[in-house]
Amino acid sequence: MDPEIAQQIGILGGTFDPVHEGHLAVARTVLDRCNLDLLLFVPALAPPHKDRALTPFGHRLAMLEAAVGEDPRFSVSALEAERPAPSYTVDTLRELHRRLGASQFFLVIGADMFAEIHLWYHYSELFTLSHLIVVARPGYPLADMAARVAGLPGVFRHDPARQTWQREDGFRIIHLPDVAIQVSSSQVRALLVQGKPVTGLLPDRVIGYIRAHGLYGSSDHGRPGQ
């Protein structure tokens, strides 16, 4: 689907270093559960909280494009490379509103990130630009989620049946407690460095791209089918 005509768009940001099957599984589930028209992957250029060197942006972008393939429900945006670093989520959302003003946005984050959202740059403005979809992470139970919502600006009404909190101005937080990423990019990088198989953790096209470009110290052990 063309992002210029989509009305409800999920935004999944991250370094995607590399993108893995956990990212894609969450994206598919969010699309289905939340009735979104499109899931937009937005790789970060230079996130302010990362203290390690990232794989060059062009490679991370190309791996995402390989991963989503021809799925019309997925799209990849390079907009963060078009602006000066660092990459702040609020700036990305402002730019998306400028480009796709008719759309409604749903920022997808993990429960671990939601626990620290009050530390994000201009975090309260996020809630005027996008709804939130919070996916489960180990060690972050529902009780913790409810306490975090209670600490945010405004008054929220909780709908337990839908696992949703809604503020008086219409801003919504949707919790998906049974959706979780079971693998991390750091785990995948470690396996690649060690020459261990990553089949099932990465899409075959991403494995092929990594091998073709010699990323993460990859070797033949990571090729599809092994």
More confident residue, 138 or 49: 138
Please tell me what DSSP assigns to residue 199.
Answer: B
Domain spans, the chain: 8-182
| 132 CB-contact burial (10 Å; exposed 0-12 / middle 13-18 / buried 19+) | buried
pLDDT band at 220 (very low <50, low <70, confident <90, very high): very low
Q: What is the mean pLDDT of residues 34-60?
A: 89
| 98 CB-contact burial (10 Å; exposed 0-12 / middle 13-18 / buried 19+) | exposed
The pLDDT value given to residue 134: 96
The pLDDT value given to residue 22: 93
Q: What is the mean pLDDT of residues 136-144?
A: 86
The pLDDT value given to residue 106: 98
The pLDDT value given to residue 37: 95
Q: How do strand 172-180 and strand 164-167 relate by DSSP bridges?
A: antiparallel
Residue-wise pLDDT for 109-119, tens only, equals: 999 999 999 99
Q: What is the mean pLDDT of residues 132-141?
A: 90
Is the dihedral angle over the CA atoms 118, 122, 124, 130 positive or is it negative? Answer: negative
Under CATH, to which class is 8-182 assigned?
alpha beta
Please tell me what DSSP assigns to residue 159.
Answer: E
More confident residue, 2 or 147: 147
More confident residue, 225 or 91: 91
Q: How many residues does the chain have?
A: 226
More confident residue, 138 or 44: 44
Distances (CA, A) of 85 to 48, 60, 80, 181: 8, 16, 8, 27
Whether 189 shows a pLDDT value over 70: the answer reads yes
Whether 187 shows a pLDDT value over 80: the answer reads yes
pLDDT band at 9 (very low <50, low <70, confident <90, very high): very high
Q: Mean pLDDT score of the chain, rounded to an integer? A: 90
Helix axes 21-33, 57-68, angle to 10 degrees: 60
CA 67/CA 86 separation, integer angstroms = 25
The pLDDT value given to residue 218: 64
Q: How do strand 38-43 and strand 131-136 relate by DSSP bridges?
A: unpaired
